[in-house]
Structure 1
Amino acid sequence: MTASSGIKFFSTPPHACSYLDDRKAITLFADPQAPMNSTLYGQLSLYGFRRSGNYIYRPQCQDCQACIPVRIPVDAFEPNRQQRKTRMRNADVEITSVNANFVQEHYDLYAKYIHIRHADGDMFPPSIAQYVSFLFSDWCNTRLVEFRHDGKLLAVAVCDFLRNGLSAVYTFYDPEEEKRSLGTLAVLWQIGEAIRLGLPYVYLGYWVQESPKMAYKTRFQPLEAFMYQRWQELPPDA
């Protein structure tokens, strides 16, 4: 497959699905040898592509359409009661956006998060090499958003800044601070930052209806989904 940009795309052989245990997945990758930048990645995000490290990909399964790209149109977003409470609960949290560089403190929190929350996932066991290759890239405009209380690092949100919005790459947090709903707080910050910058969307990656871990994404309303080759509003009860 070749896009209008001239970039070629390659599909993988079937492999174990990261989201549904009983499925096999096929992934479509942009040619890793082709020049890539934030502008081109932003254009590809309009068609449901995501970034993992330097690689741009999208699920391309023949018999399954469970992975649906979703995004929040930030100007229409209305926080629900629980999200408003999350904001108030975290009024004492200091939020700072920093350059996307390796910081040992960040990695230590990431490793703790993976060990406690995702020991059954494909990111376990964590390593510095895996952390760097997963979250950082050589060409993307990426920021690390720190959430701190009294100097203690509570969470880090990895966020790509694109011309058409912010892309939420990954958020990890201290599992001992679960009552703060730091994942929700990170998305709320990204919505506010997109509004401040005049950007229309926050891209949340893929939503899988059958995966309980993905349920939080539908709590941000309205939510748009890329289905049947176009973006359309996803019903709140989907």
Structure 2
Amino acid sequence: MSAPFRFPRFFVTTPAPCPYLAGKTERKVFTELAGPHASELNDALGRIGFRRSQNVAYRPSCLDCAACISVRVIASEFQPSATQKRVLKRNADLEVTACKPWATEEQYELLRRYLHIRHPEGGMVDMDEHDFSDMVEQSPVKTYIVEYREPSKNGTPGRLVGACLTDQQADGLSMIYSFFEPDDERRSGLGTYIILDHIVRAGNAGLPYVYLGYWVEEAKRMTYKSRFRPLERLGPGGWRRFDPEQRELSLD
């Protein structure tokens, strides 16, 4: 007999400075993902805008701001743009492997390079190897770390140039965190390529969506998410298609 489902208990964090908008504070509501129904709970919460971090599901719950909007790509209808097609062609030789969520030193060193160049002021820049291992390995749901490597030679694996911690949910792939070689001109567009690969993977698996997390219109570092269309965003009325180029967003 299966264990009964227990309704989760939710908690709220203490307000802290917002990492996306100057002068704003952020507050999150969260719950623990544990027990035999952790995957089902994570799927249900993912559909209403929660994200996973280790064994916790969270979403913004700010008192004076609603700028963080959950977005997802409709994988079955996606058509790459001309620029995205060039990115796919440029990186077509990469060898992609969905690995078990086990942290490696090679992954950690790549993450360090990525953070110090792309996000030197971010909250993750001081992450040590233990923190990284926790991020990758502490997952109560179906999780992979997808590796992107240059071609192998004589049986030796090629250089690791990208990775993405990814959850497989009932209705799609949720990209928890991706990182890549930040300053290799030969591999420009790696971040875009990783998302494109996940859209292809979702389509091949019969999964309708790729969850990209939160999109903040005024945050420049979030702009890239608007380039993958068609997009849906979550509002009080549920998931709706939207055009990121429209300045006025109706949240019905």
TM-score class, shorter-chain normalisation, is over 0.9
1:142 maps to what in 2?
Answer: 143
SS at match of 2:148: strand
Q: Which amino acid aligns with 1:177?
A: D
Percent identity of equivalent pairs: 38
Pairwise CA distance, 1:210: 0.8
What's the CA shift for 1:80? Answer: 0.9
Q: Distance in 1 between matches of 2:95 and 2:32?
A: 39
Q: Which amino acid aligns with 2:19?
A: S
In the alignment, does 2:166 pair up with 1:165? no
Instruction: Kindly name which structure, 1 or 2, has the bigger radius of gyration based on alpha carbons.
Output: 2
* Structure 2 match to 1:176: 183
Paired residues of 1:52 and 1:135 also in contact (CA < 8 A): no
Aligned to 1:42: 43
Distance 2:15 2:203 in 1: 39
Q: Shift in Å at residue 134 of structure 1? A: 3.1
Q: Which residue of 1 aligns with 2:240?
A: 232
Q: How many residues align?
A: 235
Give CA-to-partner distance per residue, 1:93-124, whole Å, 9 cap, x none.
11111111011111111111112211111112
Q: Give the Cα–Cα distance (whole angstroms) in 1 for the partners of residues 124 and 231 of structure 2.
A: 27
Q: Judging changes above 3 Å, is the alpha-carbon distance between structure 1 residues 226 and 188 closer, same or farther for their aligned structure 2 residues?
A: same
Question: What letter matches 1:169 in structure 2?
Answer: I
Contact 1:71–1:202 at 8 Å: present in 2 too?
Answer: yes
Pairwise CA distance, 1:21: 2.4
Shift of 1:8: 1.4
Structure 1: give runs of 5+ residues left out of the alignment.
none
- Cα distance per residue 1:201-232 (max 9 Å; x no partner): 00000000111110000000110000124111
- The corresponding residue for 1:121 is 122
Code of the residue aligned with 1:126 in structure 2: it is M
Asked if structure 2 preserves the Cα contact closer than 8 Å seen for 1:14 and 1:24, the reply is yes
- In the TM superposition, what whole-angstrom CA distance separates every residue of 1:113-169 from its partner, at most 9, and x where no partner exists? 112211111112221122233343231211111111130111011111111110001
RMSD: 1.7
Residue type at the aligned position of 1:182:
L
Matched with 1:222 is 230
Cross-structure match for 2:159: 152
Deviations 1:12-37 (A, max 9, x none): 12111121121101100014677652
- For residues 1-238 of structure 1, the aligned pairs below 5 Å read 6-31=7-32, 37-150=38-151, 151-177=158-184, 179-238=187-246
How far apart, in 2, do the equivalents of 1:213 and 1:66 lie? Answer: 14
